[in-house]
Amino acid sequence: MHKAWPELLKRMRANKVSTSTKERQLVISARTWFCLYLFEHQMSYGTGRPAILKDDESIWQCRLLLQHPLAIEDDMRLVSTVELMAIRERVHNNLSPLFEKPVDDHTFNVLREADLEFRNWFATWDQAFSQKYEDAAFYRQSLQIQHLTAELFHNATALRGIDGPEDVQRMPHAQRELAIKSINIGRQILDITVNSPAYREGMKYAVHYTHATATFSASFLLRLSRLFPDQCNIEEIRVFVERLAALLAEVPGRRYAITLQLMLKRFKRQSSASRVPPILTKDGSYFLSATGPSIKIYSVSTCHVVSTLSIAGTASRPSNPTGYGEAITSMSLNPHNPFQLFTGSLDGCVRVWDFVDAILLQTIDVCYPILYLAAHANFKNEVCVAVSKKTRKLNHNRNPTAEENASVLRVSLTPTEATSKLPVQRTSDLLVVGRTRAPFGLAFSPSGSWLVVIGGHKSYVARTSNFKAGFTKFVSPDKLSCLAFHPTEEYFATGDSKGVVRLWYCLNDNIPSGVIGVEKKAPTTTLHWHAHAVSSIAFTANGAYLLSGGEEAVLVLWQLHSGKKEFVPRVGAAITNITVSNAQGRNEEYLVGLADASFIFVRSGTLKISKTIARVKLDPAISHDRPTSSVIPLAAHSITSSLILPSSHPSTLQTYSVLNSTLLSELEVSPSNRVSRREDKAAEPSRVTIARISENGQWMATVDSRESRDEFRGEVYLKIWWWDKKASSWILNTRVDRPHGLKKVTAVSFRPRAKDSSLLRLATTGEDGNIKIWGIQSTTSKSGEGEAFWVTRSTIRFRSEIPSHVSWSLDGSLLAVTLECPAPISTHFIGRSGRYLAVQGLQDIVLWDIITDNVVFGDQIHLVEKDEAQARGIGGAAPVTKQTLFQDLFGKSALNDITAWAPLPASVHNQGSSWKGKEIEKIFDTAAYLLPPLGTLFDPLMDTFLTLRTSNEREGKEDENLEQADEDMDMDAEGSEVPIVVGNRLERIVDQHEMLAMIELFQYHPSYERVLENTRETQRCIFPHRNDGESQWRDA
């Protein structure tokens, strides 16, 4: 079978092609061999074993198959993929000898050359598919995915050995740049895969290799985002991977979806809300909240930020950072000075602050990322910290698992003499108490006799009188999630992943002393109400009650002696932390931190919310669950001078006053359950994807949708709201179910400058390909009251293209729609007259004059590329130029090269394109005031009237003189590459200097007879059976 293509190629060169049965079998065999080569290499990259089939004559010049009369349409995809796989094989062969060596400049040079080959391959075939198919969106995106995946795969070989932040710190600049470039490539792959309607539809019929490469891109992107958190949007990447997993679950790629879901479980969400519990000052007048590398100090009375402590503005950065950032992970007031604050952060530093004067007093570098910190009055100038050890728990086969290890250290705040005067100091005494799993809490007992750490399924208990004895382990049936000590008694409480609150009574003399690593069971009491994991627990000041909260957005108050419970329901968002205010002279209050970065105060006497501290409510775990390239529900309301923003729940919008920096109200666009049962799959909420407000501020249009899952069909609603001035709220006026069927609504826009409601229009576009115009219809009810609601007025579409953006002109007379195309993303009318159209692309903005049909301003749309990267038309447009005998001996003539290539039609950016045919006659049929200036019409019209003679016309008159001329004998060039496309080519000009040099060469160098003598032997080799070889050569 591997001989089929060489034989078929030989027949094609000899012009012996036919449609006979034998020829058909050859074509089928060649096509089958190409498929085998392709699949074998795909399996090779998937399994890591060496490929057996090689890049040899059995696939060389496979693109010529497209010129065979028996070629079919799918051969284009097959041949293009085989060519890409051949490039990948060459790149792999160049890189494989370097795998056992450190990454060096040679590796990067190979990748740079490979990058150029990949780009040339994509440019060539992208143009070919664009010319072949009218609707080529899927084919072009498929090519782009193949190109990007190949590049990402080979880049991964140069990023081997980068396992942690310490490796990132040591990596050379070129390798770092390659990693950042790979992040962008992976993001592009996922963006196309999950956001392109055409590609998503094509994924239903894709082979497993396509699913595997998408999964590889997602997993590699997750890993790189952990190593380079500052170079990417981690939440956006997490959302991309979640959407890819959902897509693979719908198509026959379930096993890959499960793989991605497991990776996502290990990929912790980042939240704008701090997981560090806020701390109230001793007098209860202020509370401190950690946000990233800074601490905000709030006034309890005014609910405003009065001060901010920031690591960024200090000189306390360690010389050897951990690579985990500077986020503050824990806080504690100094037990000996209530105006001082201890903080621990991921950069490995313990800092001491005077928060009253906003001064950083001391910085101690521990050299490990600090996860938790605890202080007690019994240990002056000492703290205990839990730090990450960058290692993982081993399973039974001694392989690392996802569960990380940690250590607990006792750190003295007294620095060494050598570092005492430095901004960043080293501790004079450091004691390792013991090792734990990844911790979720660290605390001293009220008396200071015990130190407790929770991690995994265990509680680790140590006597403070004998830290060297290490921890005693107490086992929990479920993973522990939070920890709190009773304020006066020697027992503690924990919450776990199943929603159980457990009280541990194990701090007594029965704990063995001096025995390290003992694992025991402890007497406990359980309290269970939560359906999901408990996020935070806290005891009241008198110890009679226990507070707990979690994802249910309900604060639960447990009465410990009776087990009874009370509730503070619907606090607004999931609870992340709880702090109890026990200041003297003040009523006890509970400070509750929510997942949307807001705080509430709950009075202990009434269990009512007394204060809410909120600016913009944002929860990345929920409201950021969309890629940044998609439409965001964002609008400006002119009547109230406020912004409409997505809120903490995806089905809710919030109204935020920019002038006052306050939250005005919230609108629940689509009522939905916010909590599901633990054993069930998480409930998919309805999501508000679009919000638009009319120019007069009286109407708002929203689109909310819920994707189809299992047996439930998808939901899409267009809702139009009316602004009630008296109530200062939005009232639902019209609801349209499935305005574009079950397809997604891509854009919504109100018509501007509508003088009255009868002229107001709303345009919507959807993935069903329709563009719909909506208007207000007025009726009179039976009671005689007038009613207005919205109805469809017209529906239009353009071919089979999918619209993605819509924009009205400023006077409301024109509508611009962006159709499915890789370049433009959106269009906007600009200027007072609305004459100009701004077209936005991924990297370019182009200003288009709709009167003259010219580009007025634009970044470079078409970049100048090398000649080999130019796109040229496929098929018969470029006949094969055979090499002559003279050219074989002396090289190709520059004179013949001038007219060898026919240029492509003028590109879009050629502004001087002339009118043709009857278009000229109709130019002046338009009213004079609508015509552009005559100065802009003169050149195009003159170019039409006075056309240049074409090269074909000139050659036609010279054919008579050339009929008698001798012709070179044609010969096939072995292994010659046939260009598959035809396009613009720079003409080579043979100047006078070059002509004189050639004349001089033949005048003053060896004579013609010597040249002839030296070539006789060559002629005998070429014409062994002819006696007139010399005369043939002389004639030539």
Are 214 and 359 found together in one domain? no
Residue 1012, pLDDT above cutoff 60:
no
943-970 mean pLDDT: 51
Q: Does residue 547 share a domain with residue 500?
A: yes
Q: Residue 418 contacts by C-beta under 8 Å, 6 or more apart in sequence? A: 426
Q: Hey, which residues does 872 pair with through a beta bridge?
A: none
Q: Does 467 reside within a domain?
A: yes
The H or E element that residue 621 is part of is none
775 and 760 in contact (C-beta within 8 Å)?
A: yes
pLDDT at 268: 54
**Are the C-beta atoms of residues 565 and 558 closer than 8 Å to each other?**
yes
Return the pLDDT at 586: 82
Q: Which of 266, 298, 315 is the last residue of a domain?
A: 266
Q: What are phi and psi of 696, to 5 degrees?
A: -85, 0
User: With bands split at pLDDT 50, 70 and 90, how would you rate the model's confidence at 137?
Assistant: confident
Which are the contacts of 435, defined by CB distance < 8 A and separation ≥ 6?
Answer: 389, 405, 406, 407, 408
Q: What is the mean pLDDT of residues 545-561?
A: 93
Question: How far, in Å, CA of 862 to CA of 944, rounded?
Answer: 25
Tokens 């198509």, residue? 251
Could you give the angle at the alpha carbon of 909 between the alpha carbons of 854 and 982, nearest 5°? 145
What pLDDT, in 10s, does the model give residues 146-182? 999 999 988 888 887 777 766 776 778 888 888 889 9
Question: Which among 537, 593, 526 is positioned nearest to 290, based on CA atoms?
Answer: 593
Q: Indicate whether 921 and 822 sit together in one domain.
A: no
Top-confidence residue, 521 or 805: 805
User: Quick one: 113 and 59 in the same domain?
Assistant: no
Q: Are residues 355 and 470 in the same domain?
A: yes
Among the residue ranges 234-238, 354-358, 498-502, 959-963, the one predicted with the least confidence is 959-963
User: Where is the domain boundary, 858, 877, 892?
Assistant: 858
For position 876, what pLDDT does the model report? 43
The answer, yes or no, to whether residue 623 has pLDDT greater than 70, is no
Looking at residue 220, its amino acid is F
**Mean pLDDT confidence for 799-817:** 89
Sequential DSSP letters for 72-92: -THHHHHHHHHHHHHHHHHHH
pLDDT at 401: 46
- Are 486 and 358 found together in one domain? yes
Q: Is residue 328 part of a domain?
A: yes
Which single residue is written with the structure tokens 């050859």? Answer: 26
Enter the tokens of residue 977.
Answer: 């590459």
Same domain, 781 and 692: yes
**Per-residue pLDDT for 536 more than 90?**
yes
Burial of residue 711 (number of CB atoms within 10 Å: 0-12, 13-18, 19+): exposed
DSSP 8-state secondary structure symbol assigned to residue 49:
P
For the CA atoms of 252, 258, 261, 263, what is the dihedral angle to 10 degrees? -120
CATH of the domain at 469: 2.130.10.10
pLDDT at 454: 94
- Rounded Cα distance, 835 and 980, in Å: 41
Q: Which residues contact 292 (CB under 8 A, 6 or more apart)?
A: 326, 327, 328
Name the nearest CA neighbour of 516 among 562, 462, 588, 558. Answer: 462
Q: Is the pLDDT of residue 890 over 70?
A: no
Tens digits of residue pLDDT in 430-483: 999 999 988 999 999 999 999 999 998 999 999 999 998 889 999 999 999 999
Q: What is the pLDDT of residue 822?
A: 64
Q: Are 257 and 355 found together in one domain?
A: no
> What are 303-307's contacts with CB under 8 Å, separation 24+?
303/611, 303/612, 303/613, 307/355, 307/358
From residue 244, give the alpha-carbon distance in Å to each of 187, 195, 235, 264, 744. 12, 10, 14, 11, 17
- CA–CA gap between residue 385 and residue 433 (Å, rounded): 10
End-to-end CA distance of the chain: 42
Overall residue count recorded for the chain in this entry: 1036
Average pLDDT over residues 43-53: 75
Residue 1031 in this model has a pLDDT that exceeds 80: no
Query: What is the pTM for the complete model shown?
Result: 0.57
Q: How does DSSP assign 899-923, residue by residue? A: TSSPPPPPPTT-TTPPP-GGGTTTG
Lowest mean pLDDT among 516-520, 822-826, 960-964: 960-964
Residues 382 and 345 grouped into a single domain = yes
> Domain boundary residue among 51, 72, 93?
72
Contact at 8 Å (CB) between 476 and 460?
A: no
Q: Which residues pair with 645 in a beta bridge?
A: 654
| Element spanning 485, H or E | strand 480-485
Phi, psi of 649 (to 5 degrees): -110, 140
Residue 542 lies in a domain: yes
DSSP assigned state of 101: S
Shared domain check, 873 and 837: no
CB-based contact 449:511 (threshold 8 Å): no
Q: Which residues contact 947 (CB under 8 A, 6 or more apart)?
A: none
Residue 389, domain member (yes or no): yes
What dihedral do alpha carbons 689, 693, 694, 698 form, nearest 10°?
130
CA 625 – CA 218 distance, rounded (Å): 16
pLDDT in tens, 241-250: 888 888 888 8
Give Cα separations from 743 to 30, 756, 1011 (angstroms).
41, 32, 75
Residue 970 is classified by DSSP as E
The residue among 716, 718, 700, 697 whose CA lies nearest residue 708 is 716
Query: Contact, 636 vs 644, CB < 8 A?
Result: yes
Task: Identify the pLDDT of residue 823.
Answer: 67
CA atoms within 13 A on the CB side of 981: 26
**555 and 549 in contact (C-beta within 8 Å)?**
yes
What is the span of the domain harbouring residue 516? 279-575
What is the Cα Rg of the chain in Å? 37
In three state form, how does the secondary structure of 499-519 look? CEEEEECCCCCCCCCCCCCEE
Contact 413, 382 (CB under 8 A): yes
As a whole number of angstroms, the distance between CA 393 and CA 455 comes to 12
Note whether 149 and 186 are same-domain residues: yes
User: Collapsing DSSP states into helix, strand and coil, what is residue 551?
Assistant: coil
Q: What is the pLDDT of residues 829-888, one digit of tens each?
A: 988 888 899 988 766 788 888 888 888 887 654 444 434 334 444 444 444 444 444 444
Mean pLDDT of the chain: 79
- CA torsion 434-436-438-442 (nearest 10°) is -60
Is 446 within 8 Å of 485 (Cβ atoms)? yes
Work out the burial of residue 530: count CB atoms within 10 Å of its CB; fewer than 13 is exposed, 13-18 middle, 19 or more buried.
Answer: buried
* d(C-alpha 873, C-alpha 905), whole Å: 11
Is 465 contained in some domain? yes
Residue 1002 lies in a domain: yes
Could you tell me if 687 and 750 are in contact, meaning their C-beta atoms sit under 8 angstroms apart? no
| 769-793 residue pLDDT tens | 999 999 999 888 777 788 899 999 9
Within a domain: 622: no
- The answer to whether residue 597 sits within a structural domain is no
Number of domains in the chain: 6
Judgement on whether residues 32 and 111 belong to the same structural domain of the protein: no
